[in-house]
Each structure stands twice: as C-alpha cells, then as structure tokens.
Amino acid sequence: MNTAESLSSLPPTPDYDAWPVTVAPERVNHDPHLVELHWRDGRVSRYHGVWLRENAGDASTVNPDTRERILDLSRLAAWPTISAARLDDQGALCVTFAPEDRTLRFHPGWLRANDYSNTAQPDAPLVPVTTWTGETLPEPTSLDAGAWMRQAEDDPAVEALLERALEAVLGHGLVRLRNLPTEPGTLARIAERIGPLRATNFGTLFDVKAKPNPDSNAYTSIALPPHVDLPTREYQPGLQLLHCLENSVEGGQAVMMDGFAIAETLRERHPDAFATLTRVKWCYANTARTTDYVWFDPMIKLDDQGRLLEVRVADFLRGPLMAPFDDIEPAYAALMQLQRLLREPQFAMRFTYRPGDLVIFDNRRLLHARDAFEGNSGHRWLQGCYLERDEIRSRLRMLWRAARQRRVDAAERAPTSG
C-alpha cells in the first residue's frame, strides 16, 4: 500500500486536529487492562483499556459532527477490558473491548501525541515561560506587521507572523508589532485575529489619553506606578493590547516589568514575605461614580505545582485590608518588601511608543507603568482592549493544527512507496 492510501485509511481521532505519523508503531502487547505499544524508535507506550475506550474516535464514543463525547462509561455493562489488540496494515491500533465485543481503531499519530505514560508534565505551558529583567531583555520582541492588514487571515506570512507574536507573549509575556496603520479602530481588527474582545466598564475599545473628568488615573498625564489592570475582577483580563495612534508629547515613556521575575526574586530573598503574599487576600476595589467593583485575592497566585500563575499588583486599586487580625502587620511588611523590589531599576524595560506600534502583553503577569508627560507639549493617544489568555492559547493551537495539516497533506501527496 502506498503512503497516501495508508494515511487516508487511518481512523478518525476524537478531535478536529491533524496528527502526522512521525514514528510508526511496530508491535503491541496487551493484558485485560493495559495495551503496551512498541514504536520503531524504541519508545514503549502504555495505555489503560478504560482510557482507550473513552477516547476512541468512532461514532459510539463521539458525535462525528461535533467531536464531543457521547459515551457514558457508567452505562457500559461492565468495566471495559481488552480481549484482543493488534496493529492493522495501515498502522492503526485495533483493540477489541469486552464485554461489548466491539473492536475500535486508534490513530497512531494521535496515540503518540497523547502518550501520557511518557509525559512527565502533561499540563506544561504551550511555550516555556522565560522570566526577564530590563537588563536581560531591554526591549520587547519586535515584529514588522506593516503588511498584516492588507493580507488575508490565512495567508502563510500572516500565520507565521502571528505564530511568532503569540509565542513571544506566552514565553516572555509581551510582543511589539510595528508599522501598523494609525486609524482608530485598527486595534479591534487586529485583536479579532486572535480572539473575541472582552468588554469592561471602560468599553470594548478604550482611549488612553488625558481627558476632562477622568474615571481612571490612566486618563490623565500623571505618572502611573507599576500595576496590572482590573485586579478588582474575579477573573482579571488575561491580555492587554495597546495601540499607539499619536505620540508627540514630552515624557510619557512606557515601563514594563516581568511580575514573575520580581515574584521569584522575592521568593529567593524574602521567602516569608513571598509566602505571606501568596496566602493573605487583599481587597481590590474600583469604586467609581457609576460602578463598584470589589474582589479579594492574594497578590501572588500559584498553581498546584507551585508555579507562578498570576500577580495582582496595583496600589491605587487596593481597598482597606480586611484580613485576620494577626495577618495585618506581616501582610504590610511583605507588601513593602515587594514595593522596594519594584523600585529596583534593573527590573524595568523602558521604551517610547511611536505611532503604529502595538504592544500585546500578559496582564496577569506583566506590570506596566508610565512616566508623567507634559500635556501641553503634544498629543498622546493609545487605544486599548482586553482579551483572555484562553484566546491566545486557542489561536496558537489552531496555527499549529494548520501546520500539522499541511504536513499530513504533503505526506499524502508524496510519491508512492512500495
């Protein structure tokens, strides 16, 4: 059988992705509860029978139109066990399950990609997180996006640019796109190429410029201290995008800091203070004229493996600390240790927005600030919006999926073998 016939004959997977067969399986062993798959490169993968039964791609397990699971394991007559397992001529794993007496086929590329028996950290970040200071990363990763808006969304050059941009955001927490149009509303069209925008009380798009009767310090010409936006929300926005339309003022330099690098430094230098800030819940409040947002959360949040998940730093958006009585002084002592770190100059990346620049950054990781500017010296106008971290991860997975599909398509077009 030729390569194209072999690939086209492989079974469906329980998702919409494409899974190139980079290494083929060569033999299989099994017992009633386990399948042991041996690959040609020497890897041995082990899969539980119950896991295989739930993750089959056939119509008894998933809806073929939506790829959503329809199987309810508890409705099977008994625990699914394995009565037979073999490799067919196309390289698919064929497993016969008892008591159903049902034989199901599994795509080898999908099995290899989902080999949990050889995955030490199944929830690892899509892109490795690299912490930085202003000394190790003096300016954002910068990409020329001048032609982006004139090209179709599925243009390979656009996809390559977007992939590099999203990987930079996930890895370093930010990216800068340059040479974009400066018309108002351009930001929305760019952001929508990543995912849906998140509306807040400041609007879907908001204008960052000095204005009368401001409802945020951002809408003045005063300096802004290092902060994240909207820590007053149960789920603070994951991404912020700022697009420079005008900037002719004196001053107003942008400052970015890696909150994860600062938190790790605090953990190293002052472990008690770090522990306190991961435990004590602070009050974050935005009690404006027309809204009243309040949320309580630690200033530093970790996941269940102790990895940094988010920081909530915004001194001007903290309400009265309402912690247990004995935590008050330790909490303030820890806060002041953190505040001292924020003033250490090596953490700061400093740059000036020029018209056409768009910076995308992780609002739950990076702290941003701004120098004061002279309001009468010119005009400074940024447009901003928010997205969620979920959108950037989804979009990057889709870009990778498209790349995998191209590899599968190329393999199917390859000359016959045998």
pLDDT, tens only, 367-396: 999 887 766 666 889 999 999 999 999 999
Q: Is-contact 107 11, C-beta < 8 A?
A: yes
pLDDT at 149: 77
Of the candidates 214, 224, 218, 252, the one whose C-alpha atom is nearest the C-alpha of residue 379 is 252
pLDDT at 105 exceeding the cut of 60: yes
Of the chain, the percentage scoring pLDDT greater than 90 comes to 77
Give the mean pLDDT of 20-43.
97
Q: Give me the chain's average pLDDT, please.
A: 92
Phi then psi dihedrals of residue 230, to 5 deg: 55, 45
Instruction: Please give the model's pTM, rounded to 2 decimal places.
Output: 0.89
The token pair that represents 54 in the structure block: 């739930």
pLDDT at 4 exceeding the cut of 50: no
Phi then psi dihedrals of residue 265, to 5 deg: -65, -40
Question: Residue 107 burial by CB count (10 A; 0-12/13-18/19+): exposed, middle or buried?
Answer: buried
Q: Is-contact 82 35, C-beta < 8 A?
A: yes
Q: Is-contact 134 348, C-beta < 8 A?
A: yes
pLDDT at 120: 80
The token pair that represents 79 in the structure block: 């625990």
Residue 16's pLDDT band (boundaries 50, 70, 90)? very high
Give the mean pLDDT of 13-34.
95
pLDDT at 144: 95
Domains of the chain: 3-122 (3.30.2020.30), 142-397 (3.60.130.10)
Q: Is-contact 142 170, C-beta < 8 A?
A: no
Residue 189's pLDDT band (boundaries 50, 70, 90)? very high
Give the mean pLDDT of 57-64.
96
Give the pLDDT confidence of 215-251 residue by residue, as tens digits: 566 666 677 899 999 999 999 999 999 999 999 887 7
Alpha-carbon radius of gyration of the chain: 26
